[in-house]
Amino acid sequence: MLNLPEVLMNRKSHVFEVVGIGTVIVSLLFVAVELHQNTKAVHGQTNQAIADNVNALYLAIATDDELARAWIKLFSDERSEDLSPEERIVLEMSLLSGFRRVENIWYQVDEGLIEERALTRIGYDPYITNIGIATWNKFRGGYDPAFVSYFEQQIAIHIGSEAVGNDGEVAQE
Reduce the secondary structure of 25-57 to three states and give it as a string. HHHHHHHHHHHHHHHHHHHHHHHHHHHHHHHHH
Please indicate whether residue 107 or residue 33 has the higher confidence score (pLDDT). Answer: 107
Instruction: Identify whether residues 139 and 152 lie together within a single domain.
Output: yes
Same domain, 90 and 167: yes
pLDDT at 60: 87
Tens-digit pLDDT profile for residues 151-168: 999 999 998 865 433 433
What phi and psi values does residue 115 have, to the nearest 5 degrees?
-75, 155
pLDDT for residue 162: 54
Residues 94 and 54 in one domain: no
Residues 88 and 172 in one domain: yes
User: What is the extent of the structural domain holding 13?
Assistant: 1-63
pLDDT category of residue 137 using cuts at 50, 70 and 90 = very high
109 within 8 A of 115, measured Cβ to Cβ: yes
Alpha helix (H) residue ranges in the chain:
4-63, 65-75, 85-110, 130-139, 145-162
Q: Which residue has the higher pLDDT, 5 or 112?
A: 112
* Closest-CA residue to 94 (of 116, 120, 73, 121): 73
How far apart, in whole angstroms, are the C-alpha atoms of residue 13 and residue 86? 80
Q: Which of 16, 45, 63 is the last residue of a domain?
A: 63
The Cβ of residue 19 has, within 10 Å, a number of other Cβ atoms equal to 10
d(CA 103, CA 84): 28
Average pLDDT over residues 12-29: 80
CB 155 within 8 A of CB 106: no
Q: Are residues 59 and 78 in the same domain?
A: no
Mean pLDDT of the chain: 83
Looking at the structure, tell me whether residues 103 and 125 fall in a common domain: yes
| Same domain, yes or no: 71 and 50 | no
| pLDDT (tens digit per residue) in 41-58 | 776 777 777 778 778 888
Indicate the SS3 state at residue 14: helix
Same domain, 37 and 100: no
Is the domain of 108 the same as that of 142? yes
pLDDT at 152: 94
Q: Please indicate, yes or no, whether residues 163 and 96 belong to a single structural domain of this protein.
A: yes
Domain end call among 17, 38, 63: 63
Boundary of a domain, candidates 18, 42, 63: 63
137 shares a domain with 105 = yes
Residue 163: per-residue pLDDT? 43
The answer to whether residues 104 and 25 belong to one domain is no
Overall domain count for the chain = 2
Task: Answer whether 20's CB lies under 8 Å from 26's CB.
Answer: no
